[in-house]
Structure 1
Amino acid sequence: MRNANGGPIGIFDSGYGGLTVFKEIVKLLPQYDYIYLGDNARVPYGTRTFETVYQYTWQCTRTLFEMGCPLVVLACNTASAKALRTIQMNNLPAYPESKKVLGVIRPTTERIGEFTKTRHVGILATPGTIKSESYRIEIERFFPDISVYQEACPMWVSLVENNEMDTAGAAYFVKKHVDQLLKQSPYIDTIVLACTHYPLLYPLIRKFTPPSITIMEQGGLVAESLKDYLNRHQELDSSLSKGSHKKFFTTENPTIFNEKGGIFYEKEVKSTQIFV
């Protein structure tokens, strides 16, 4: 897809969840070319060590660079929490300044003050994202007055990946973790779905959450942040090709990716297998 007019935007995720973010990015910025890469062969990332997540994320980011992407968005909370900073500090200096890597945590945390009135915020995420403390650290950086309460939901990704969102088991585990989060503070008025898989569980999460509580999904926020970033960095924007083309790659079986990916992307997905 690389051409004389620039290269595509790379979108990376450990599996399928990033497609919920990608969908919103394409909706807001349809004019760009995109390459989506899902590292489905090594999912899940949420239970892996910081070093392993960093190694896997960098391998996939480097692959997207080699495919001509000047900009890579880590549409994965675990990768953003465990790998983004290390990649920006240790790997990018060896590349031209035109190469950029962005994550999904900052676009969420820098806006959260607009949503909470009580200044008590809940985070639902994978164990890896919770352990990293990335959300607590970033929210405190932007809004020192906000109290953050976190709940790890180790089963939720598997429920979504296995298309079990409408089962009794899903209802049990969603209610369990929502209840445990809300027990931490009666003043929580905003909950962040800090995993890109969780929007597919939104109906259940909404069912077990008081209607007065705002539930934040990341896709739209990340898309708006990316649009603003490109408006502020015209040199980067001019290095991106604009033909509205999209390509999907997976490190796993493309037939399986196409079937499951369509659920997340809400459109037909045709992928190609790639080895990173």
Structure 2
Amino acid sequence: MEQEKQLIGPIGIFDSGYGGLSVFKEIKKQLPQYDYIYLGDNARVPYGTRSFEAVYEFTKECVFKLFDLGCNLVILACNTASAKALRSIQQHDLPPGKKVLGVIRPTTEIVKAFTTSNKVGILATTGTVKSESYKIEINKFNPEIEVFQHDCPFWVPLVENNEMDTEGAKYFVEKDIHKLLEQSQDIDTIILACTHYPLLLPIIKQFVPEHINIISQGPLVAESLKTYLDRHPEIDSKSSKNGSMQFFTTDDPRDFESKAEIFFGQKIKADHIKVS
């Protein structure tokens, strides 16, 4: 019985920094009963411009740290990590009884419900665009959908520096949306394929025509996790349910706390952690 108790643990949520908190916020809203540990690898951010090998190694270290902290299920609430590291970790590195899920598949599985023109736009980091993960996953489920991509390297710094309401933010958002939409006049759905981007939604809506659907990942990932736990009672039964949250960062916890509220919508307390 004691051994069985030790197998029960919180759900781990990993991101390279703060953006995953916007996904965690939605997960917590839909599944408040579970225990969670959030880990942000802020000391090594950004992941978006790093090589596949670096992102894989960093992500694996953080995932295994969450396993060490008792997590049996880890969500990669980071598009770059999901694009560059998830499949390798799932195929080669998972210990028995441990699971890792990403944020790309829940989004790509459902995109068909939003588009009638079968022309879908992706706004993402450079790393996610280069990986072509969204194209691959969307076409795996819906080969008839044509995918157009554009990377937005300035959007993450704008959000992390709380510059969302500035003229500079408007300039870059308008410029990048224009570059995406000029690829096809028939795009009727845009996926915000970075967890930072929903914080720019008020500005994004100013420059996206009203007939175009804008998809934020948080609610979709939360709903997908709920469905996953319903379908996998063996994982659900190993997930503790006391409604608790812990936050860890590989960088300065005070700095993490000050910025986390922008993404999570409430004040949090964080602790420093070493992962390597």
In structure 1, C-alpha distance between the alignment counterparts of 2:102 and 2:238, rounded to whole Å? 19
| Aligned residue in 2 for 1:169 | 168
1:158 counterpart letter in structure 2: P
Specify the code of the residue in structure 2 equivalent to 1:135: Y
1:254 maps to: 253
CA drift of 1:121 comes to 0.3
CA contact (8 A) 1:8 1:240 kept: yes
Q: 1:34 aligns with which of 27, 33, 36?
A: 36
Q: 2:107 and 2:233 mapped to 1: Cα distance? A: 23
Distance 2:100 2:41 in 1: 17
- Output the amino acid matched with 2:228: Y
Q: How big is the shift at 1:6? A: 1.0
Shift of 1:167: 1.1
Which residue is equivalent to 1:215? Answer: 214
Shift of 1:254: 0.6
Amino acid at match of 1:235: E
1:110 aligned counterpart, secondary structure: helix
What SS does the corresponding residue of 2:57 show, helix, strand or coil?
helix
The match for 2:8 is: 6
Alignment partners' CA distance in 1, 2:124 and 2:250: 24
Corresponding residue for residue 88 of structure 2 = 86
2:26/2:218 contact within 8 Å kept: yes
CA distance in 2, matches of 1:204, 1:57: 31
Aligned residue for 2:61? 59
1:173-213 C-alpha deviation (Å, 9 max, x unpaired): 10000000000000000000000000011111111100111
Distance 2:25 2:199 in 1: 13
Match for 2:21: what amino acid? L
| Residue aligning to 1:49 | 51
Query: Could you tell me how far 1:3 is from its partner in structure 2?
Result: 5.6
Task: State the number of aligned residues.
Answer: 272
Normalising by the residue count of structure 2, what TM-score does the alignment of the two structures yield?
Answer: 0.97
Per-residue deviation at 1:90?
Answer: 1.3
| Deviation (angstroms), 1:218 | 0.1
- Does residue 152 (structure 1) correspond to residue 151 (structure 2)? The answer is yes
2:119 is matched with 120
SS in 2 for 1:165: coil
- Name the residue aligned to 1:73: 75
- 2:52 & 2:268 partners in 1: Cα distance? 30
Deviations 1:241-274 (A, max 9, x none): 0000000000111111001001100011110010
Provide, for residues 196-242 of structure 1, a one-character-per-residue CA deviation record: whole Å limited to 9, x for no partner.
Answer: 00001111111110011110000000000000001110011000100
- Structure 1: segments with no counterpart, 5+ residues: none
Hey, what's the Cα distance between the residues in 2 that align with 1:194 and 1:246? 25
- Deviating 4+ runs (over 2 angstroms): 2-5
Q: 1:4: Cα distance to partner?
A: 4.2
Contact 2:7 2:70 in 1 (8 A): no
SS in 1 for 2:60: helix
Alignment of 1:10-25 (within 5 A): 10-25=12-27
Instruction: Measure the CA separation in 2 of the matches of 1:54 and 1:174.
Output: 29
Structure 2, unaligned runs of 5 or more: none
**Structure-1 separation of matches of 2:116 and 2:153:** 29
* Deviation readout 1:2-50 (Å, 9 max, x if unpaired): 9647100000000000000000000000000000000001100000000
Separation in 1 of the partners of 2:110 and 2:245? 29
CA RMSD, aligned part only?
1.0
Amino acid at match of 1:47: T
Matches within 5 A, 1:210-249: 210-249=209-248
